[in-house]
Amino acid sequence: MNWDIFIWFALPAVILWCSAGIVVYRKKNRVLADILMITGIAIFTLFIIGFWIDIERPPMRTMGETRLWYSFFLSVVGYVTYRRWKYPWLLSFSALVATVFVFINLLKPEIHSKNLMPALQSIWFIPHVTSYILSYAMFGAATIGAFVQLRKIHRKGLSDKKVFDFIDNIVYVGFGFLILGMLMGCVWAKEAWGHYWSWDPKETWAFVTSMAYLAYIHIRLQGKKQEKVALWLLPIAFILLLITWIGVNYLPSAQGSIHVY
């Protein structure tokens, strides 16, 4: 199951996700939304498994492959958090953002060889990348929640405690996965290059990103003080995250980076 047939799995999954995001706003169609979303996730999962088998390595090396996982995790996180918090917009926006990343992969296909450089042939490869991408998916959902909360404050002058509970909890879990991924990366770096941390451009931006989310957590611990500041910090932190994940590869300083393959 190679990348050439990705479109035949991606389009059905996207149609199912978007359909779920539309019908979920009618209470009598909530069960249908569940079925559509789960079916879309199942189809997408089937391609990932088949693709993994075909290239004979974890599909986590190229940017296209990480976008593949981001679409998968965002759809899963969106569905799970929707089931937990009962907000239809969680399902809709997660489906929409996952769809955007799917179409980026369709419009910008990459070469996916079976080769894996020696440094990536490590037991830390899968858990390190998975932990990071999972945290990215959670932070994406938190960013969506931040905009929803800002809109509520703008319209009503008051924040919604339940929305803040959702945002806080998903940021806590996402931050945990982010730090876990960073720690595993340090151990992996020690084994591969002899140093836990070398202030590589990718590492530097990862540190900056983690500090931005840590700042959000500290601001929120002050209670209702600086609510808007905390909420606006989330989209800023997500921009830093995107620079860490994607943007750093285009910086002049990244040309000698050990994280650019």
Q: Please give the model's pTM, rounded to 2 decimal places.
A: 0.93
Where would I find the beta strands (DSSP E) of the chain?
A: none
Helices (H), the chain: 6-23, 30-55, 63-85, 88-107, 125-156, 161-193, 201-220, 227-245
pLDDT of residue 157: 86
Q: Is the pLDDT of residue 201 over 90?
A: no
Domain 120-251 part of CATH 3.40.50: no
Angle at CA of residue 85, ends 99 and 25, nearest 5°: 60
pLDDT of residue 257: 66
For residue 258, which of 118, 132, 131 has the smallest C-alpha distance? 118
H or E element: which one contains 190? helix 161-193
**Lowest mean pLDDT across 10-14, 57-61, 186-190, 252-256:** 252-256
Confidence band for 255, pLDDT divided at 50, 70 and 90: low
**For the chain, what are the domain ranges?**
1-110, 120-251
pLDDT of residue 259: 65
> What are 116-130's pLDDT values in tens digits?
877 778 899 999 999
Tokens for 59, please give them.
Answer: 């599909």
pLDDT of residue 197: 84
